[in-house]
Structure 1
Amino acid sequence: MRRHPVGFRYASALFEHAQENYLLDSIEQELSDVSQVFQATNLLDEVFNHPKMTSEEKKKIVRESFSSKVSDVVVNLLLLLIDNRRESVFFSIVEDYKKLANEAKGIAEATVYTAKALSDDEKEAVAQVFSIKTGKQKLLINNIVDKEIIGGLKVRVGDSVYDGTVASQLERIQKRMIYGNVSR
């Protein structure tokens, strides 16, 4: 997923503030909570995009809904987005903030494609092996079952892909048979 340039600037500023004040985890949780509320209520899509909704009405809704539940930093972010008519980038800010916070904590997200769902123990084993390969302290595993995979697994961490599927091994064998076993 490509990052939104404006959303990334907001996320970076929020991240710097949170890091300076030792609030990385709490801000991340609050952004996640607000995001869940927005998704559950369609507040951003339906209410805030209504043509008759004024900025002051939006701010009032935000203050009433979130002031007692999240920190002033997150409420002020929402109010700033309303002032700058940037409410639509909120979800991008949340995603970019998560990535920045995870990077700072040495955590990466990994997508693991397998023929069958991995057990918790298997996920942990994959996380241990690939955290060493990627130089991360911890990997968060998202397992996707892909029936096209005959066996083995394919792991995507950021821009890197580790393909240990049976299909890719068969493809390499086929190429060796066609072109010979040429070492370079």
Structure 2
Amino acid sequence: MSQSIIAKRYADALFQLGKERSKLDQFETELLTLREVYRDNNKIVSFLKHPRVSVDQKKKVMTDSFQSFSEEIVNTLKLLVERHREDIIADMIQHYIGMMNDAKGIADADVYSVRELSEAEKQRLSETFAPKVGKQSLNLTNIVDSSILGGIRLRVGNRIFDGSVSGKLRRIERELVSTNKR
């Protein structure tokens, strides 16, 4: 079974538990903090994967390091350590965050522009494009790309909205080429 499927199952279980105990937002906050710890500290990952460190030592580090977290999150982490599934923690967090975003009607999107967009511009883009993809809002990540020449290109999941100058030029070129072949 693939690691991603296993990570999704743990995320589903945490999501259901959070729903039952009305702790969905608390779990999300804690998992976002854990994701930052994982990203910023490579030593914890290598420690958890080290074969000479016993499972009990790893579980103790998890308990001590995340003592301010909810019991459910800490127990999930200890369970993952016990089952030698430390490498799926990041994927599990990503699946949980995705489930929370779906529940809130939020989607992640990349917006490509020639320059950095202001918060007001990002907000307008979110308000304009969120309904088009069936969401209430978009978490926009602005990527500066001078090759688009002007305008924007927005990617939400596998949907692309291309209002860039370079995209328009490509469409015009395709039209010209296709009319010349006739």
* TM-score between the two structures when normalised by the length of structure 1: 0.91
1:14 aligns with 2:1: no
- The C-alpha deviation readout for 1:99-142, integer Å capped at 9, x for no partner, is 01100110111110111111111111111100121111111110
Structure-1 separation of matches of 2:157 and 2:31: 22
Structure 1 equivalent of residue 49 of structure 2: 49
Q: How does 1:17-166 map to 2 (within 5 A)?
A: 17-67=17-67, 69-166=68-165
Q: Aligned Cα RMSD in Å?
A: 1.6
What is the SS of the residue equivalent to 1:141? Answer: strand
Maintained 8 Å contact 1:109/1:157: yes
Aligned length: 178
Q: Alignment identity in percent? A: 37
Letter in 2 for 1:148: S
Maintained 8 Å contact 1:11/1:97: yes
What is the SS of the residue equivalent to 2:18? Answer: helix
What is the SS of the residue equivalent to 2:130? Answer: helix
Structure-2 separation of matches of 1:43 and 1:80: 20
Letter in 2 for 1:80: L
Instruction: Please state how far the C-alpha of 1:15 moved relative to its aligned partner.
Output: 1.2
Letter in 1 for 2:13: A
What is the SS of the residue equivalent to 1:142? Answer: strand
Maintained 8 Å contact 1:131/1:137: yes
What is the SS of the residue equivalent to 1:22? Answer: coil
Letter in 1 for 2:163: G
Structure-1 separation of matches of 2:62 and 2:163: 48
Instruction: Please state how far the C-alpha of 1:14 moved relative to its aligned partner.
Output: 0.9
Maintained 8 Å contact 2:114/2:148: yes
Structure-2 separation of matches of 1:64 and 1:75: 10
- The C-alpha deviation readout for 1:130-179, integer Å capped at 9, x for no partner, is 01211111111100001111011111111111111111111111222222
Structure-2 separation of matches of 1:38 and 1:134: 31
Instruction: Please state how far the C-alpha of 1:39 moved relative to its aligned partner.
Output: 3.3
Unaligned regions of 5+ residues in structure 2, if any? none
Letter in 1 for 2:33: D
Instruction: Please state how far the C-alpha of 1:94 moved relative to its aligned partner.
Output: 0.6
Unaligned regions of 5+ residues in structure 1, if any? none
Instruction: Please state how far the C-alpha of 1:93 moved relative to its aligned partner.
Output: 0.5
Structure-1 separation of matches of 2:106 and 2:115: 25
Maintained 8 Å contact 1:127/1:138: yes
Maintained 8 Å contact 1:44/1:88: no
Maintained 8 Å contact 1:115/1:150: yes
What is the SS of the residue equivalent to 1:39? Answer: helix
1:60/1:126 Cα in 2 relative to 1: closer, same or farther (>3 Å)?
same
